[in-house]
Protein backbone atom coordinates (compact mmCIF):
# COMPACT_ATOMS: atom_id res chain seq x y z
CA UNK A 1 0.00 0.00 0.00
CA UNK A 2 1.31 3.44 -0.88
CA UNK A 3 2.20 5.59 2.10
CA UNK A 4 0.03 8.71 2.55
CA UNK A 5 1.77 11.94 1.61
CA UNK A 6 3.11 13.77 4.68
CA UNK A 7 1.28 16.99 5.58
CA UNK A 8 2.91 20.25 4.53
CA UNK A 9 4.78 22.35 7.04
CA UNK A 10 2.45 24.95 8.52
CA UNK A 11 3.16 28.57 7.54
CA UNK A 12 5.23 30.51 10.06
CA UNK A 13 4.05 33.90 11.26
CA UNK A 14 6.61 36.71 11.39
CA UNK A 15 8.28 37.22 14.77
CA UNK A 16 6.32 39.62 16.99
CA UNK A 17 8.43 42.66 17.86
CA UNK A 18 9.12 42.96 21.62
CA UNK A 19 8.82 46.26 23.45
CA UNK A 20 11.50 47.81 25.65
CA UNK A 21 10.51 50.55 28.09
CA UNK A 22 13.39 52.55 29.52
CA UNK A 23 13.34 52.64 33.32
CA UNK A 24 15.29 53.74 36.36
CA UNK A 25 17.21 51.57 38.80
CA UNK A 26 14.81 52.64 41.57
CA UNK A 27 11.99 50.89 39.68
CA UNK A 28 13.59 47.44 40.01
CA UNK A 29 12.02 45.81 43.11
CA UNK A 30 14.73 44.53 45.44
CA UNK A 31 17.62 45.70 43.25
CA UNK A 32 19.62 47.17 46.15
CA UNK A 33 19.20 44.12 48.38
CA UNK A 34 19.95 41.34 45.88
CA UNK A 35 23.53 40.64 46.99
CA UNK A 36 25.00 39.89 43.59
CA UNK A 37 28.19 38.01 44.49
CA UNK A 38 26.76 34.66 43.45
CA UNK A 39 25.63 36.19 40.12
CA UNK A 40 29.01 37.77 39.41
CA UNK A 41 30.73 34.52 38.47
CA UNK A 42 27.91 33.85 36.02
CA UNK A 43 28.36 37.31 34.51
CA UNK A 44 32.11 36.72 34.14
CA UNK A 45 31.31 33.47 32.31
CA UNK A 46 28.99 35.36 29.98
CA UNK A 47 31.80 37.81 29.25
CA UNK A 48 34.12 34.93 28.43
CA UNK A 49 31.77 34.14 25.54
CA UNK A 50 30.92 37.74 24.60
CA UNK A 51 34.08 39.80 24.95
CA UNK A 52 35.08 39.50 21.28
CA UNK A 53 31.79 41.06 20.16
CA UNK A 54 31.92 44.81 19.59
CA UNK A 55 28.71 45.36 21.57
CA UNK A 56 30.14 43.79 24.73
CA UNK A 57 33.87 44.45 24.41
CA UNK A 58 34.09 47.60 26.54
CA UNK A 59 31.75 46.54 29.33
CA UNK A 60 33.37 43.11 29.58
CA UNK A 61 36.88 44.59 29.66
CA UNK A 62 35.84 46.77 32.63
CA UNK A 63 34.57 43.68 34.47
CA UNK A 64 38.11 42.57 35.32
CA UNK A 65 38.57 45.56 37.62
CA UNK A 66 35.75 44.52 39.98
CA UNK A 67 36.55 42.25 42.98
CA UNK A 68 34.70 38.93 42.94
CA UNK A 69 33.72 39.28 46.61
CA UNK A 70 32.55 42.91 46.66
CA UNK A 71 28.77 43.03 46.12
CA UNK A 72 28.62 46.82 46.51
CA UNK A 73 31.25 47.34 43.79
CA UNK A 74 29.40 44.90 41.54
CA UNK A 75 26.14 46.80 41.99
CA UNK A 76 27.89 50.08 41.16
CA UNK A 77 29.39 48.45 38.07
CA UNK A 78 26.00 47.49 36.66
CA UNK A 79 24.49 50.87 37.49
CA UNK A 80 27.39 52.65 35.76
CA UNK A 81 27.54 50.50 32.63
CA UNK A 82 23.92 49.51 31.95
CA UNK A 83 20.46 51.00 31.46
CA UNK A 84 17.43 48.96 32.63
CA UNK A 85 14.62 48.42 30.12
CA UNK A 86 11.41 46.81 31.26
CA UNK A 87 10.30 44.16 28.80
CA UNK A 88 6.74 44.28 27.53
CA UNK A 89 4.84 41.87 25.34
CA UNK A 90 3.73 43.08 21.88
CA UNK A 91 0.28 43.84 23.36
CA UNK A 92 1.84 46.08 26.02
CA UNK A 93 1.39 43.74 28.99
CA UNK A 94 4.41 43.52 31.31
CA UNK A 95 3.81 40.17 33.05
CA UNK A 96 4.67 36.73 31.74
CA UNK A 97 5.30 33.17 32.82
CA UNK A 98 8.35 32.02 34.78
CA UNK A 99 8.88 28.26 34.83
CA UNK A 100 11.79 26.24 36.19
CA UNK A 101 14.18 23.60 34.93
CA UNK A 102 17.06 21.59 36.37
CA UNK A 103 19.65 18.97 35.59
CA UNK A 104 18.15 15.55 36.41
CA UNK A 105 19.95 12.33 37.28
CA UNK A 106 18.80 9.15 35.51
CA UNK A 107 19.92 5.55 35.79
CA UNK A 108 21.15 4.10 32.52
CA UNK A 109 23.67 2.29 30.36
CA UNK A 110 25.56 2.71 27.12
CA UNK A 111 24.08 -0.62 26.01
CA UNK A 112 20.52 -1.88 25.97
CA UNK A 113 19.74 -4.33 28.75
CA UNK A 114 16.61 -5.86 30.24
CA UNK A 115 16.55 -2.98 32.72
CA UNK A 116 17.63 -0.14 30.43
CA UNK A 117 15.35 -0.23 27.39
CA UNK A 118 14.51 3.36 26.48
CA UNK A 119 17.00 5.10 24.18
CA UNK A 120 18.38 8.61 23.87
CA UNK A 121 19.05 9.34 20.21
CA UNK A 122 21.60 11.50 18.45
CA UNK A 123 20.16 13.76 15.69
CA UNK A 124 19.17 11.72 12.62
CA UNK A 125 20.90 12.51 9.31
CA UNK A 126 17.60 13.09 7.48
CA UNK A 127 16.61 15.93 9.81
CA UNK A 128 17.09 19.25 8.03
CA UNK A 129 16.79 22.83 9.29
CA UNK A 130 15.76 25.73 7.06
CA UNK A 131 16.73 29.26 8.12
CA UNK A 132 13.73 31.33 7.08
CA UNK A 133 15.61 34.61 7.45
CA UNK A 134 17.44 33.70 4.25
CA UNK A 135 14.07 33.77 2.50
CA UNK A 136 12.54 36.78 4.26
CA UNK A 137 14.17 39.06 6.87
CA UNK A 138 10.84 39.26 8.73
CA UNK A 139 11.54 35.73 9.92
CA UNK A 140 14.65 36.74 11.87
CA UNK A 141 15.98 33.95 14.14
CA UNK A 142 13.30 31.57 12.88
CA UNK A 143 13.99 28.08 11.60
CA UNK A 144 11.80 25.18 10.59
CA UNK A 145 12.86 21.58 10.79
CA UNK A 146 11.71 18.80 8.55
CA UNK A 147 12.82 16.16 6.10
CA UNK A 148 13.06 16.04 2.32
CA UNK A 149 10.71 13.72 0.42
CA UNK A 150 10.30 13.03 -3.27
CA UNK A 151 6.93 13.59 -4.90
CA UNK A 152 5.78 13.42 -8.53
CA UNK A 153 6.21 17.21 -8.57
CA UNK A 154 9.75 17.07 -7.19
CA UNK A 155 11.43 17.22 -3.80
CA UNK A 156 9.92 19.16 -0.92
CA UNK A 157 10.39 19.65 2.80
CA UNK A 158 7.72 18.15 5.08
CA UNK A 159 7.49 17.98 8.89
CA UNK A 160 9.86 15.61 10.61
CA UNK A 161 8.45 12.57 12.39
CA UNK A 162 6.50 13.27 15.57
CA UNK A 163 7.31 11.73 18.95
CA UNK A 164 5.05 8.70 18.49
CA UNK A 165 6.66 7.90 15.13
CA UNK A 166 10.15 8.16 16.61
CA UNK A 167 9.42 5.94 19.60
CA UNK A 168 7.47 3.31 17.62
CA UNK A 169 10.24 2.77 15.06
CA UNK A 170 8.73 4.56 12.07
CA UNK A 171 11.51 7.15 11.97
CA UNK A 172 14.98 6.01 10.78
CA UNK A 173 16.73 6.40 14.15
CA UNK A 174 17.92 2.85 14.76
CA UNK A 175 21.67 2.86 15.38
CA UNK A 176 21.70 6.43 16.69
CA UNK A 177 21.33 5.46 20.36
CA UNK A 178 23.88 7.13 22.66
CA UNK A 179 22.51 5.65 25.90
CA UNK A 180 19.58 3.72 27.34
CA UNK A 181 17.59 4.51 30.50
CA UNK A 182 15.09 2.59 32.57
CA UNK A 183 12.11 4.94 32.76
CA UNK A 184 10.37 6.52 29.72
CA UNK A 185 8.73 9.19 31.88
CA UNK A 186 12.07 10.27 33.34
CA UNK A 187 13.41 10.32 29.77
CA UNK A 188 10.51 12.55 28.72
CA UNK A 189 11.35 15.05 31.45
CA UNK A 190 15.04 14.87 30.55
CA UNK A 191 13.98 16.06 27.10
CA UNK A 192 11.97 18.87 28.67
CA UNK A 193 15.00 19.93 30.77
CA UNK A 194 17.38 19.68 27.82
CA UNK A 195 20.37 18.26 29.71
CA UNK A 196 21.15 15.84 32.52
CA UNK A 197 23.40 13.17 33.92
CA UNK A 198 23.13 9.40 33.58
CA UNK A 199 24.61 7.14 36.24
CA UNK A 200 26.10 4.14 34.45
CA UNK A 201 26.30 0.63 35.97
CA UNK A 202 29.95 1.16 37.00
CA UNK A 203 28.98 4.29 38.96
CA UNK A 204 30.44 6.83 36.54
CA UNK A 205 28.35 9.75 35.33
CA UNK A 206 27.65 10.49 31.68
CA UNK A 207 26.55 14.05 30.86
CA UNK A 208 24.17 14.60 27.98
CA UNK A 209 22.85 17.80 26.45
CA UNK A 210 20.48 19.09 23.81
CA UNK A 211 21.64 18.54 20.24
CA UNK A 212 18.51 19.22 18.14
CA UNK A 213 14.77 18.66 18.05
CA UNK A 214 12.22 17.43 15.55
CA UNK A 215 10.63 20.83 14.95
CA UNK A 216 7.18 20.04 16.29
CA UNK A 217 5.64 22.53 18.74
CA UNK A 218 5.79 21.68 22.41
CA UNK A 219 2.44 20.69 23.90
CA UNK A 220 1.93 20.41 27.64
CA UNK A 221 0.98 16.94 28.82
CA UNK A 222 -0.02 18.50 32.13
CA UNK A 223 -2.55 20.68 30.32
CA UNK A 224 -3.90 17.58 28.55
CA UNK A 225 -4.47 15.87 31.90
CA UNK A 226 -6.17 19.00 33.24
CA UNK A 227 -8.43 19.23 30.18
CA UNK A 228 -9.43 15.58 30.69
CA UNK A 229 -10.25 16.23 34.33
CA UNK A 230 -7.53 13.83 35.49
CA UNK A 231 -5.64 16.54 37.42
CA UNK A 232 -6.39 20.01 38.67
CA UNK A 233 -4.24 22.88 37.49
CA UNK A 234 -2.43 22.95 40.85
CA UNK A 235 -1.65 19.22 40.54
CA UNK A 236 -0.24 19.43 37.01
CA UNK A 237 3.39 19.76 38.10
CA UNK A 238 6.17 17.38 37.13
CA UNK A 239 5.65 15.56 40.42
CA UNK A 240 1.89 15.38 39.87
CA UNK A 241 2.31 14.01 36.35
CA UNK A 242 4.75 11.32 37.54
CA UNK A 243 2.31 10.30 40.28
CA UNK A 244 -0.50 10.03 37.70
CA UNK A 245 1.61 7.73 35.52
CA UNK A 246 2.31 5.48 38.51
CA UNK A 247 -1.45 5.16 39.00
CA UNK A 248 -2.07 4.67 35.26
CA UNK A 249 0.99 2.91 33.81
CA UNK A 250 -0.99 1.49 30.88
CA UNK A 251 -1.67 5.03 29.66
CA UNK A 252 1.93 6.29 29.81
CA UNK A 253 2.52 6.21 26.05
CA UNK A 254 -0.84 7.84 25.36
CA UNK A 255 0.12 10.66 27.70
CA UNK A 256 3.67 11.20 26.44
CA UNK A 257 2.61 11.17 22.79
CA UNK A 258 0.32 14.15 23.38
CA UNK A 259 3.50 16.16 23.02
CA UNK A 260 4.74 15.61 19.43
CA UNK A 261 8.03 17.46 20.13
CA UNK A 262 11.11 15.30 20.55
CA UNK A 263 14.66 16.22 21.61
CA UNK A 264 17.85 14.58 20.36
CA UNK A 265 20.98 14.52 22.52
CA UNK A 266 24.74 14.54 22.41
CA UNK A 267 27.23 13.38 25.00
CA UNK A 268 28.97 16.27 26.74
CA UNK A 269 32.57 16.30 27.94
CA UNK A 270 33.08 15.34 31.57
CA UNK A 271 33.27 18.38 33.86
CA UNK A 272 33.52 19.08 37.56
CA UNK A 273 30.58 17.66 39.51
CA UNK A 274 29.68 21.09 40.92
CA UNK A 275 29.66 22.75 37.49
CA UNK A 276 26.33 23.20 35.72
CA UNK A 277 25.54 21.97 32.23
CA UNK A 278 26.61 24.04 29.24
CA UNK A 279 23.84 26.30 27.99
CA UNK A 280 23.19 27.76 24.55
CA UNK A 281 25.71 30.55 25.17
CA UNK A 282 28.42 27.90 25.46
CA UNK A 283 29.20 28.47 29.15
CA UNK A 284 28.25 26.42 32.24
CA UNK A 285 24.96 27.43 33.84
CA UNK A 286 24.88 28.80 37.38
CA UNK A 287 22.20 27.39 39.69
CA UNK A 288 19.74 30.08 40.73
CA UNK A 289 21.27 32.70 38.40
CA UNK A 290 20.94 31.37 34.84
CA UNK A 291 17.77 31.59 32.77
CA UNK A 292 16.64 30.27 29.42
CA UNK A 293 15.16 33.00 27.23
CA UNK A 294 13.70 33.69 23.82
CA UNK A 295 16.84 35.11 22.20
CA UNK A 296 14.74 37.13 19.75
CA UNK A 297 13.84 39.39 22.70
CA UNK A 298 16.72 38.89 25.14
CA UNK A 299 20.14 38.35 23.52
CA UNK A 300 22.17 35.51 24.95
CA UNK A 301 24.65 36.66 27.58
CA UNK A 302 22.72 39.73 28.67
CA UNK A 303 22.07 40.40 32.37
CA UNK A 304 18.37 40.42 33.26
CA UNK A 305 16.68 41.48 36.47
CA UNK A 306 13.82 39.14 37.37
CA UNK A 307 11.01 39.77 39.80
CA UNK A 308 8.72 36.84 40.53
CA UNK A 309 7.86 34.61 43.52
CA UNK A 310 9.17 31.32 44.86
CA UNK A 311 7.38 28.18 43.59
CA UNK A 312 3.84 27.78 44.95
CA UNK A 313 4.38 30.86 47.09
CA UNK A 314 3.84 34.59 47.29
CA UNK A 315 7.34 35.10 48.76
CA UNK A 316 9.23 37.52 46.49
CA UNK A 317 12.07 36.19 44.35
CA UNK A 318 13.92 39.22 42.97
CA UNK A 319 17.42 38.86 41.61
CA UNK A 320 19.93 39.50 38.88
CA UNK A 321 19.97 36.68 36.33
CA UNK A 322 22.04 35.83 33.23
CA UNK A 323 20.49 34.91 29.89
CA UNK A 324 22.66 31.89 29.12
CA UNK A 325 20.30 29.33 27.62
CA UNK A 326 17.33 28.86 25.30
CA UNK A 327 14.54 26.31 25.04
CA UNK A 328 12.07 25.27 22.34
CA UNK A 329 9.15 26.00 24.70
CA UNK A 330 10.48 29.43 25.75
CA UNK A 331 8.76 31.84 23.40
CA UNK A 332 7.80 35.45 24.04
CA UNK A 333 9.22 38.68 25.36
CA UNK A 334 8.29 38.18 29.02
CA UNK A 335 8.95 34.46 29.32
CA UNK A 336 11.89 32.71 31.00
CA UNK A 337 12.90 29.34 32.42
CA UNK A 338 14.75 29.53 35.76
CA UNK A 339 17.66 27.09 36.21
CA UNK A 340 17.57 25.56 39.71
CA UNK A 341 20.66 23.34 39.51
CA UNK A 342 21.30 19.60 39.78
CA UNK A 343 19.53 16.81 41.60
CA UNK A 344 16.22 16.01 43.30
CA UNK A 345 16.00 19.14 45.45
CA UNK A 346 16.43 21.32 42.36
CA UNK A 347 13.86 19.13 40.61
CA UNK A 348 11.34 19.72 43.38
CA UNK A 349 11.62 23.48 42.92
CA UNK A 350 11.69 23.37 39.13
CA UNK A 351 8.71 21.03 38.85
CA UNK A 352 6.51 23.36 40.89
CA UNK A 353 7.56 26.68 39.40
CA UNK A 354 4.84 28.29 37.27
CA UNK A 355 4.85 31.84 38.55
CA UNK A 356 3.98 35.22 37.03
CA UNK A 357 6.97 37.49 36.62
CA UNK A 358 8.41 40.68 35.15
CA UNK A 359 11.75 41.28 33.46
CA UNK A 360 14.19 44.13 33.01
CA UNK A 361 16.84 43.79 30.31
CA UNK A 362 20.09 45.44 31.42
CA UNK A 363 21.58 46.85 28.22
CA UNK A 364 24.99 48.53 27.74
CA UNK A 365 24.69 52.31 27.85
CA UNK A 366 24.39 53.96 24.47
CA UNK A 367 24.07 50.74 22.48
CA UNK A 368 21.26 50.09 20.01
CA UNK A 369 18.50 47.95 21.46
CA UNK A 370 18.00 44.42 20.09
CA UNK A 371 16.11 44.39 16.83
CA UNK A 372 16.56 48.10 16.10
**pLDDT per position as a tens digit, 309-347:** 999 899 999 999 999 999 878 989 999 999 999 988 999
Could you report the per-residue pLDDT of 343-352, keeping only the tens digit for each? Answer: 889 999 998 9
By CB neighbour count within 10 A (0-12 exposed, 13-18 middle, 19+ buried), where does 72 fall?
Answer: exposed
Among 198-212, 230-244, 260-274, the minimum mean pLDDT is found in: 260-274
Q: Is 43 left (phi over 0), alpha (psi -120 to 50) or beta?
A: alpha
DSSP letters spanning 34-84: S-THHHHHHHHHHHHHHTTSHHHHHHHHHHTTS-TT-HHHHHHHHHHHEEE
What is the mean predicted confidence (pLDDT) over 217-231? Answer: 95
Going by C-alpha positions, the residue among 120, 110, 254, 130 that lies closest to residue 187 is 120
Q: Is 230 left (phi over 0), alpha (psi -120 to 50) or beta?
A: alpha
- What distance lies between CA 39 and its chain's CA centroid? 19
In this predicted model, which residue has the larger pLDDT, 2 or 264?
264
104 assigned to some structural domain:
yes
Q: Does 77 have pLDDT greater than 60?
A: yes
Three-state SS at 336:
strand
224 assigned to some structural domain:
no
**Which residues 6+ apart lie within 8 Å of 158 measured at CB?**
6, 7, 8, 9, 146, 147, 148, 149
State how far the Cα of 95 lies from the Cα of 89, in Å rounded to an integer: 8
What is the mean predicted confidence (pLDDT) over 177-188? Answer: 97
119 assigned to some structural domain:
yes
3 assigned to some structural domain:
no
Number of domains in the chain: 1
pLDDT of residue 328: 74
229 assigned to some structural domain:
no
**199-to-71, 110, 121, 179, 192 alpha-carbon distances in Å:** 37, 10, 17, 11, 19
Q: Does 6 have pLDDT greater than 50?
A: no
What is the mean predicted confidence (pLDDT) over 42-71? Answer: 94
What is the mean predicted confidence (pLDDT) over 154-182? Answer: 94
DSSP code of 278?
Answer: B
pLDDT confidence bin for 124, thresholds 50/70/90:
very high
Q: Does 168 have pLDDT greater than 60?
A: yes
Cβ atoms of 217 and 261 within 8 Å: the answer is yes
List the CATH number of the domain containing 278: 2.40.40.10
129 assigned to some structural domain:
no
Domain boundaries, position 303: 19-124+182-219+259-364
Could you report the per-residue pLDDT of 81-118, keeping only the tens digit for each? Answer: 999 999 999 999 999 999 999 999 999 999 999 999 99
pLDDT of residue 5: 43
168 assigned to some structural domain:
no
Going by C-alpha positions, the residue among 363, 298, 372 that lies closest to residue 59 is 363
pLDDT confidence bin for 138, thresholds 50/70/90:
low
228 assigned to some structural domain:
no
Q: Does 271 have pLDDT greater than 90?
A: no
DSSP H or E run through 359 = strand 354-364
Q: Does 300 have pLDDT greater than 60?
A: yes
Cβ atoms of 172 and 126 within 8 Å: the answer is yes
Amino acid sequence: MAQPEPPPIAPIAPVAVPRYEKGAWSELPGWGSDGQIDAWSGWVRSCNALRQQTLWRRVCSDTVNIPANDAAAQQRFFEAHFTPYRLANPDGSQTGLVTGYYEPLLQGSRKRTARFRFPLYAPPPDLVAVDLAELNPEFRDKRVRGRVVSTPQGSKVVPYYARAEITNGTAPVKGLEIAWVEDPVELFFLQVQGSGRIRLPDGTLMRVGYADHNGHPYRSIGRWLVDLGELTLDQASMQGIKAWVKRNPERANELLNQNPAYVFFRELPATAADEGPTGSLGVPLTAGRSIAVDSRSIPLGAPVFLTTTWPLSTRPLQRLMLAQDTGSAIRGSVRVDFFWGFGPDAGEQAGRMKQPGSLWLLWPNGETLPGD
